[in-house]
Structure 1
Amino acid sequence: MSQDPVVGYADEDAELRDLIRRYVTPERRYLKLGGGLLRFEETEYDRFARRLAEDAKLITAHELDTLLEGGWRERRTAAWLIAVSRRAEFRERIGELLLASEVCCVGLAYCVTLAGFGTPDDANHLTAYLDRYLRRPDLNYDQLVAMSALRYIDLNLGDKKAARFLSPDGLWHQWLRGRSGGQHTDTDTTYLSLIRRLCAFVDECAEPRPTG
């Protein structure tokens, strides 16, 4: 007997609601996953990191898949849980979601995840994104953080995948010149520092943390 599609859809909704309650909304986690966590006081920082690490160990691959089908809050949370739990099997999925850029407010999470994995394959996902979206100066998406994530991987691997974008006539400078308002402010250092500090946070979460 085939499953009633309406019942199946209701079950999926119930599952998603439960996952949101368990992983996304506690203490408004989805809002804190990003640069804001770097401004926490030490006690709050440690507590937040510990609880994120605990949930990263608990959540299953199926549950992560379900969250990645949700909206920006669910996807952002899932990406961070993937990064902290080092689940490199999600690399392709994260790369595809970054390239598709279907929802807002998630690109930084995807870029941190790829930068944290830090392999040539992760760099390839970032270059694919930049190849597509640096050709669109009308779109101010996640080009800045994607470039910084790529440079972060290059620095760690001693590679030069970002070099072709950064040449004087490369897509990076073309995109900067074409942005609305003609802004040419050099933000490379700021965003590279952000990626580095967020990846350091991921590393801290991935290490065993004391309880109590």
Structure 2
Amino acid sequence: MRRAHEDPELLALVRRYVTPERRYMKLGGSLLRMRSPEYDRFMRDLCEDAELITADEIATLLEGGWRERRTAAWLVAVSRRTEFRERLGELLLASEVCCAGLAYCVALASFGTSRDADLLAAYLDRYLRRPDLAYDQTVAMGALLFIDLNLRGDQAAHFMRPSGLWQEWLQDASHMQRTTDPTPSCLSLVRRLCAFVDECTEAR
């Protein structure tokens, strides 16, 4: 992993794309709480940077920490750079850093192909077997459901059957033991964030 304070090239990109107005903090559920004019300005600036950033710069950001990777994944989603699909899938599966998984899942969900569903399913197949780990299982499931609904696919059904890994994980993961099924809220979050991506794409 490259560290910005030790890497002048990465630090320059962080200052250009990641930290202005604490962008990295707003990329996620908090952007859904923004109101105009902040929302409009945030979207405009994100769209402009998605147009300007190069593929090499995105690749460099994806080698950094969670702030860099989260921002890069959103720029990938907004600019529809599907050439980064496999890289985002690798990063999601590796789960080397915290706080970036939602961004990977939203990007894959926004691409919305069967290959994106495969990458999300691979993540779920590994991490639903780990109830001791509170990673990005819920948002990955929301992203997979989102793609399934759009493609009329059934990849999520494999996990969600009564004796499947999803139900086992919900039961065995101590942080998930609740009376309310989180599945609808996971899907809703991904749907709303993908709608933001679509809005950005239309505005470009």
TM-score, normalised to structure 2's length? 0.95
Q: Given the alignment, which residue of 94, 119, 122 partners 2:88?
A: 94
Residue of structure 1 equivalent to 2:199: 204
Residue 14 of structure 1 deviates from its aligned partner by 1.2
Residue of structure 1 equivalent to 2:40: 46
SS of match in other structure, 2:174: coil
Distance 1:98 1:181, change over 3 A: closer
How many Å separate the matches in 2 of 1:192 and 1:127? 15
Residue 50 of structure 1 deviates from its aligned partner by 0.7
CA RMSD of the aligned region, Å?
A: 1.5
Corresponding position: 1:81 with 2:75: yes
Aligned AA (1:198):
L
How many Å separate the matches in 2 of 1:140 and 1:96? 18
Q: Given the alignment, which residue of 182, 187, 202 partners 1:187?
A: 182
Corresponding position: 1:116 with 2:104: no
Aligned AA (1:48):
F
Q: Which one has a bigger Cα radius of gyration?
A: 1
Residue of structure 1 equivalent to 2:24: 30
Q: Given the alignment, which residue of 153, 160, 168 partners 2:154?
A: 160
What do residues 25-80 of structure 1 show as CA deviations (whole Å, max 9, x unaligned)?
00000000000000011211111011000000000000000000000000000000
Residue of structure 1 equivalent to 2:13: 19
Residue of structure 2 equivalent to 1:6: none
Structure 1 runs (4+) deviating above 3 angstroms are: none
How many Å separate the matches in 1 of 2:175 and 2:37? 41
Corresponding position: 1:173 with 2:158: no
What do residues 80-113 of structure 1 show as CA deviations (whole Å, max 9, x unaligned)?
0000000000000000000000000001000000
Residue of structure 1 equivalent to 2:57: 63
Answer yes or no: is the 8 Å Cα contact 2:134–2:175 preserved in 1: no
Residue 208 of structure 1 deviates from its aligned partner by 2.8
Corresponding position: 1:105 with 2:99: yes
- Structure 1 residues without counterparts, runs of 5 or longer: 1-8
SS of match in other structure, 1:112: helix
SS of match in other structure, 1:162: helix
What do residues 135-170 of structure 1 show as CA deviations (whole Å, max 9, x unaligned)?
000111000000000000000001111001000000
Distance 1:155 1:18, change over 3 A: same
Q: Given the alignment, which residue of 128, 132, 136 partners 1:138?
A: 132
Distance 1:171 1:16, change over 3 A: same
Residue of structure 2 equivalent to 1:5: none
Aligned AA (1:127):
A
Answer yes or no: is the 8 Å Cα contact 2:66–2:100 preserved in 1: yes
- Structure 2 residues without counterparts, runs of 5 or longer: none
Bigger Cα displacement from structure 2, 42-51 vs 87-96: 42-51
